[in-house]
């Protein structure tokens, strides 16, 4: 009698794969709009054409440009004027510390941000100066000289004080670029920093109240509380996260989240930190997986050999 | 013979008694699954109706369900058709659209699209106009109106007032 | 009272008390299986193995899971996935096995339909199998609630709403099932109880019934051949192993079972470690939020075909069609009017019916996941009507089937 098993196997596998393709890759391609990555080129922003002068940049940042009026630069010994909660109550969100801005953000983004914050951040639908909706960050109108040169100087200065790319850890990237709006409870991160261990419950509650007050300010500023990102690595695809960080408007039109303006490498580090939080054991999974696969192939081979020996008498 | 039929009868009688016990325990089991008194008690929400801005959809919460509140604009009130007007709720002279913000098809929350003044349900494509009437199936009826009672410029959700009773009687809502 | 003698060995001691030798014969060495069967007959063993995987992984998950609406999500995603050593493994095994078990159930079901294994005394096998399908479905659904993510919450909302029975407006029944006006604490705890206790208990009982139902009519074979099991068994026991048409369950058939299981496990563990996304929907990694509906709500893939039968119609008709789809498979042994218990390939029109049903259910499955718009919605409606039409047509096309 002819052995029909290969044909049956082909039929079973074919229908299984067809169903899988329909409900997974095909259905998801229909449900989610595909956004192409622009590789963090920020091509809509003008390129920096001038070479910056670090020393003059420093003068501008601490002087005429008045950056230090709102931003701390802890690396340079410039502390924040007020604490995060008070700052958020004033500006909507705590203005970032500028120590590492030079390594986090793409130069052309920084330049455009200094000149026209709402434009660089892609939140002009929320902050339309013509309608009197001013972005909390005041634009830099120049210190009297060539404004493009001055901005190049500021960028050069910020780049000069920042840590190097290699020194920037995934955790630092996340906390600096995302952590003032987003919490990450699985990494013990709140919008006002890591929650310390308190000896007394009273102190712990006092800290929680500060977080809640800070969150109230962001809710007022953003419309809703930006989500906790602990599990976002598993609830969104890596491609989604990357293109969303690049340009939130491309995936979610009208969202209050600003464009972050990080470089491609920093975006990768942010996603790596999210993976550390949401898929902590991925390395262990890969190594255990390889061993289990090798074992299970041996299992199948031995099962086959046993079957053959048992069935020798049956034919 | 006499004995065996008597035994047959006693067997049935015992079966009947056991059956009564089983049914009795079912009552207890059914009751155990009922919503708890504390859950039921949490079912009333009082709203101050004077705080809502015109033309903007505000979502409140009642019994864990989202409640849509839309203070109608003058343009809406003027253009109201007869059937849209039956759903109109007036508190202290101000017109509102108030409804449970769950699609009457399978309970998703429709999103309000201000530009089109419509609700769109993401789950199965149902649509409702700004008065809460269904404009595209599968939902079988407009957005449900929660039981309400008007007291001055306050509204108590969960209690049945005469205005709600009238709506229910005329079939505007369930 | 039975007469006991001093035991000569441990086996003898057990034999006197438990009749282990007899049990071994009945269950294994003299449980006769026809030889002319193919690997599709190993699906039962694969299901048993998968159920065992679910049971074992479930036990370890149960040690850390917290059925509290405020803690459930974190107990799964933080405690089990990050803290418990190998917690991630149990969760992935559990999630993937819960999905794959349905693939195997469907293969098992369609094998039964193709070879006519629900006729001539095998009706109880079919019925108990369908009851298992129903309890497995309930088990899968209740388990899906437990991580308390967005899909848990909204699937719970949508599915329990079905019990308002459309035009009957039985909202009281829905609230009774939930124990609240919306899925909340009472809902989570009762589905937890169902998932870890009542339903597994029912499943284990039904598995016993399913196996018992198989014992008297024996396993069907791939040629629709009527085998005289007593005569063939005698031939085998007299030494003509090769000439007999039957073989022992153990070790003869079991060795083949295990070979198929080996290949299956390669596939299974590949999914567990490298391709688990289909079984662990990304949306469910967002914590449950009653005020925010996900953009797309869809059940797990194995419920999609019946979901799609519900969806394209207005609510009352949809519910009736849905109810029809739930019970109609149970009635298969009586809707098939032909006495032929042979493979569909030899049954003329029934062969066409079989493949149409399979393709129709795959189309329904695909459309059930896609957004209900435009062409997809039309295809879904046609496929749903096709499903109903196929089952209504079944008695008529099998009534006049030629006897083979």
pLDDT by residue (tens digit) across A101-113? 999 999 999 999 9
Give me the pLDDT at residue C1, please. Answer: 61
pLDDT, residue B124, reads 65
In this prediction, what percent of chain A has a pLDDT beyond 90?
Answer: 63
Residue B1 has pLDDT above 60, yes or no: no
Show the CA angle centred on residue A119, arms to residues A118 and A124, nearest 5°: 60
- Establish if C60 belongs to a structural domain: yes
Evaluate if residue B2 carries a pLDDT over 70. no
Residue A285 pLDDT level (bands cut at 50, 70, 90): very high
Q: Is it true that the peptide bond before B138 is cis, omega within 30 degrees of 0? A: yes
pLDDT digits 0-9 by tens, C12-24: 999 999 999 999 9
Mean pLDDT to the nearest integer, C133-155: 95
CA pair distance C29, C249, nearest whole angstrom: 6
C224 — pLDDT class (breaks 50, 70, 90)? confident
Residue where one domain finishes, among candidates C276, C297, C318:
C297
Subunits with 3+ Cβ pairs within 8 Å of B are: C
Separation CA C17–CA C3 (nearest Å): 10
Q: Chain C: nearest CA to B140, how far in angstroms?
A: 7
pLDDT at B3: 66
Same domain, C49 and C84: yes
Q: How far is B103 from chain C (nearest CA, A)?
A: 10
pLDDT for B122 equals 63
Q: What is the pLDDT of residues B51-96, one digit of tens each?
A: 888 888 888 888 878 899 999 888 888 888 888 888 888 888 888 9
Report whether pLDDT(B110) > 90.
no
Name which of C36, C285, C371 is nearest A31 (Cβ-Cβ). C371
Other C-beta atoms within 10 Å of C4: how many? 9
Encode pLDDT of C342-387 as tens digits: 999 999 899 999 999 999 999 999 999 998 878 998 999 999 999 9
User: How many Cβ atoms from other residues are within 10 Å of residue C287's Cβ?
Assistant: 22
Is residue C9, in this structure, part of any structural domain at all?
no
Asked whether C82 and A281 are in contact (CB, 8 A), the reply is yes
Q: What is the pLDDT of residue B62?
A: 86
Q: Which of C181, C318, C371, C372 to mutate to test the interface with B (most CBs of B within 10 A)?
A: C181
Q: What tens digit of pLDDT does each residue of C35-91 get?
A: 999 999 999 999 999 999 999 999 999 999 999 999 999 999 999 999 999 999 999
Q: What is the pLDDT of residues C160-202, one digit of tens each?
A: 988 888 777 777 888 899 998 889 999 999 999 999 999 999 9
Residue C24: inside a domain, yes or no?
A: no
Q: What is the DSSP string of chain A?
A: ----HHHHHHHHHHHHHHHHHIIIIIHHHHHS------TT--TTSPPP-SPP-HHHHHHHHHTTT-GGGT--BGGGTB--SS-HHHHHHHHSSPPPP-TTHHHHB-HHHHHHHHH-HHHHTT-TTT--GGGT---SSPPP--SSS-HHHHHHHHHHHHHHHSPPTTT--HHHHHHHHTTTT--BGGGTEETTEEPPP-SSHHHHHHHHHHHHHHHHHHHHHHSSPPPP-TTHHHHS-HHHHHHHHH-HHHHSTT-SPPP--B-HHHHHHHHHHHHHHHSTTHHHHHHHHHHHHHHHHHHHHHHHHHHHHHHTTT-
Tell whether C348 lies on the interface with B, counting CB pairs under 8 A: no
Residue C3 is assigned to a structural domain of this protein: no
Residue C231 contacts B, CB cutoff 8 Å: no
Q: What is the mean pLDDT of chain A?
A: 91
A130 CB-near residues (< 8 Å, 6+ apart): none
Q: Examine the domain organization and report whether C182 and C312 are in the same domain.
A: no
CATH architecture classification, B40-169: 3-layer Sandwich (2.102)
Cβ atoms of B150 and B91 within 8 Å: the answer is: yes
Q: pLDDT of A197-212, one tens digit each? A: 999 999 999 999 999 9
Asked if residue C227 and residue C167 are part of one domain, the reply reads yes
Residue C49 and residue C97 share a domain: yes
Inside any domain, residue C246: yes
Q: What is the pTM of this model?
A: 0.88
Q: In terms of domains, do C311 and C358 share one?
A: yes
Is C49 inside a domain boundary? yes
Chain B partners within 8 Å of C181 (Cβ): 35, 39, 43, 63-65
3-class DSSP assignment, residue B10:
helix
- Give the residue from C274, C297, C320 where a domain finishes: C297
For residue B44, name the pLDDT band (cuts at 50, 70, 90): confident
Name the domain boundary from C273, C297, C321. Answer: C297
- pLDDT-derived band at A2 (thresholds 50, 70, 90) equals low
Are the C-beta atoms of A313 and C35 separated by less than 8 Å? Answer: no
Q: What are the tokens at A202?
A: 């009273």
- And the tokens for A125? 């639908």
| For residues C335-340, average pLDDT | 92
Closest Cα of chain B to C179: distance in Å?
Answer: 4
How many independent structural domains does chain C possess?
Answer: 2
pLDDT at B38: 86
| Residue-number span of the structural domain to which C379 is assigned | 301-404
The more confident residue out of A49 and C259 is C259
The residues spanned by each domain of chain B are 2-34, 40-169
The answer for C 126-185 residues in CB contact with A (under 8 A) is: none
Give residues 43 to 82 of A whose Cβ lies within 8 Å of C.
none
Question: What does the pLDDT read at residue A24?
Answer: 92
How does pLDDT run across C275-293, given as a tens digit for each residue?
999 999 999 999 998 777 7
> Within this chain, do residues C46 and C118 fall inside the same structural domain, yes or no?
yes
Establish if C333 belongs to a structural domain. Answer: yes
- At B19-34, the pLDDT tens digits run 999 999 999 999 999 9
Q: Which of residues 364-383 of C touch A (CB under 8 A)?
A: 365-366, 369-371, 376
Domain identity same for C189 and C110: yes
A83 vs C294: which has the higher pLDDT:
A83
Residues C91 and C183 in one domain: yes
Query: Is the model's pLDDT at C403 over the cut of 70?
Result: yes
Range C216-237 average pLDDT: 92
Please state the φ and ψ torsions of residue B168, each to the nearest 5 degrees. Answer: -65, -45
Question: Average per-residue pLDDT in chain C?
Answer: 93
Sequence spans of domains, chain A? 54-280
pLDDT of residue A125: 76
- Other beta carbons within 10 angstroms of residue B34's beta carbon come to 14
Q: What is the CATH number of the domain that holds C224?
A: 1.20.810.10
**pLDDT at A97 (0 to 100):** 92
Is pLDDT above 90 for C149?
yes
pLDDT of residue A49: 85
């Amino acid at each position: 009698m002819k052995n029909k098993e290969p044909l049956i196997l082909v039929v079973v596998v074919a229908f299984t794969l067809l169903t899988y393709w329909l409900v997974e890759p095909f259905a998801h391609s229909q449900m989610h709009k595909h956004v192409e990555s622009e590789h963090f080129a920020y091509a809509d922003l003008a390129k920096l054409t001038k070479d910056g002068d670090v020393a003059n940049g420093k003068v501008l940042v601490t002087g005429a440009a008045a950056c230090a009026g709102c931003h701390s630069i802890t690396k340079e010994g410039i502390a924040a004027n007020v604490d995060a909660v008070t700052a958020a109550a004033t500006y909507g969100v705590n203005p970032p510390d500028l120590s590492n801005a030079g390594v986090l953000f793409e130069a052309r983004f920084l330049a455009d941000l200094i000149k026209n914050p709402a434009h660089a951040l892609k939140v002009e639908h929320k902050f339309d100066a013509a309608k009197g909706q001013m972005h909390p960050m005041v634009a830099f109108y120049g210190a009297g000289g060539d404004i493009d040169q001055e901005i190049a100087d500021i960028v050069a200065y910020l780049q000069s004080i920042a840590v190097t790319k290699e020194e920037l850890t995934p955790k630092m990237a996340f906390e600096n670029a995302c952590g003032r709006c987003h919490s990450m409870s699985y990494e013990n991160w709140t919008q006002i920093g890591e929650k310390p261990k308190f000896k007394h419950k009273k102190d712990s509650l006092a800290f929680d109240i500060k977080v809640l007050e800070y969150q109230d300010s962001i809710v007022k500023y953003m419309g809703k509380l930006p989500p906790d990102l602990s599990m976002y690595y598993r609830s969104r695809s890596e491609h989604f996260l990357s293109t969303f960080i690049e340009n939130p408007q491309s995936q979610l039109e009208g969202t209050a989240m600003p464009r972050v303006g990080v470089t491609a490498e920093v975006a990768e580090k942010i996603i790596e930190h999210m993976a550390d939080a949401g898929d902590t054991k991925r390395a262990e999974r890969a190594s255990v997986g390889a061993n289990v696969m090798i074992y299970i192939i041996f299992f199948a081979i031995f099962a086959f050999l046993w079957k053959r020996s048992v069935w020798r008498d049956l034919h | 013979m006499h004995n065996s039929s008597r035994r047959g009868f006693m067997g049935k009688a015992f079966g009947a008694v056991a059956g009564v016990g089983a049914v009795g325990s079912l009552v207890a089991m059914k009751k155990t699954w009922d919503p708890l008194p504390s859950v039921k008690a949490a079912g009333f929400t009082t709203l101050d109706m004077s705080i809502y801005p015109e033309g903007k959809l505000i979502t409140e919460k009642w019994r864990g369900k989202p409640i849509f509140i839309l203070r109608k604009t003058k343009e809406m009130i003027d253009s109201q058709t007869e059937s849209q007007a039956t759903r109109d709720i007036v508190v202290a002279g101000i017109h509102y659209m108030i409804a449970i913000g769950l699609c009457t098809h399978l309970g998703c929350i429709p999103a309000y699209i201000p530009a089109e003044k419509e609700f769109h349900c993401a789950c199965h494509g149902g649509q409702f106009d700004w008065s809460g009437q269904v404009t595209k199936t599968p939902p079988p009826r407009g957005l449900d109106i929660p039981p309400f009672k008007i007291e001055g410029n306050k509204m108590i959700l969960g209690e049945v007032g005469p205005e709600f009773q009238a709506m229910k009687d005329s079939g505007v809502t369930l | 009272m039975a007469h006991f003698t001093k035991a000569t060995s441990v086996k003898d001691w057990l034999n006197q008390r438990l009749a282990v030798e007899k049990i071994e014969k009945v269950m294994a060495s003299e449980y006769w299986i026809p030889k002319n069967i193919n690997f599709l007959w190993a699906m039962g063993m694969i299901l048993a193995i998968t159920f065992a995987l679910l049971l074992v992984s479930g036990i370890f998950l149960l040690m850390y899971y917290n059925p509290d609406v405020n803690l459930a999500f974190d107990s799964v995603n933080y405690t089990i996935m990050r803290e418990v050593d190998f917690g991630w493994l149990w969760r992935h095994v559990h999630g993937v096995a819960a999905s794959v078990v349905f693939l195997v159930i469907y293969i098992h079901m369609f094998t039964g339909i193709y070879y006519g294994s629900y006729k001539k005394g095998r009706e109880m096998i079919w019925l108990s199998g369908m009851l298992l399908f129903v309890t497995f479905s309930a088990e899968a659904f209740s388990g899906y609630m437990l991580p308390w993510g967005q899909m848990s919450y909204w699937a719970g909302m949508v599915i329990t709403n079905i019990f308002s029975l459309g035009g009957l407006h039985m909202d009281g029944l829905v609230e009774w099932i939930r124990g609240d006006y919306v899925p909340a604490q009472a809902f989570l705890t009762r589905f937890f109880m169902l998932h870890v206790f009542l339903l597994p208990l029912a499943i284990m009982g039904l598995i016993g019934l399913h196996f018992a139902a198989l014992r008297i009519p024996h396993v069907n074979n791939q040629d629709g051949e009527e085998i005289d099991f007593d005569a063939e068994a005698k031939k085998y026991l007299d030494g003509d192993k090769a000439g007999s048409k039957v073989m022992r369950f153990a070790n003869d058939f079991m060795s083949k079972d295990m070979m198929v299981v080996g290949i299956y496990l390669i596939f299974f563990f590949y999914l567990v470690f490298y391709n688990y996304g289909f079984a662990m929907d990304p949306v469910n990694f967002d914590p449950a939020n009653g005020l925010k509906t996900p953009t797309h709500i869809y059940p797990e893939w194995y419920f999609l075909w019946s979901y799609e039968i519900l969806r394209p119609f207005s609510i009352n008709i949809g519910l009736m069609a849905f109810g029809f789809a739930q019970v109609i498979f149970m009635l298969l042994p009586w809707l098939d009017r032909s006495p032929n218990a042979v493979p569909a390939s030899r049954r003329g029109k029934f062969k066409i019916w079989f493949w149409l049903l399979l393709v129709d259910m795959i189309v329904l499955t695909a459309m059930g996941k896609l957004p209900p718009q435009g062409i997809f919605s039309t295809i879904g409606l046609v496929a749903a009507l096709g499903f109903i039409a196929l089952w209504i047509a079944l008695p008529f096309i099998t009534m006049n089937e030629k006897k083979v």
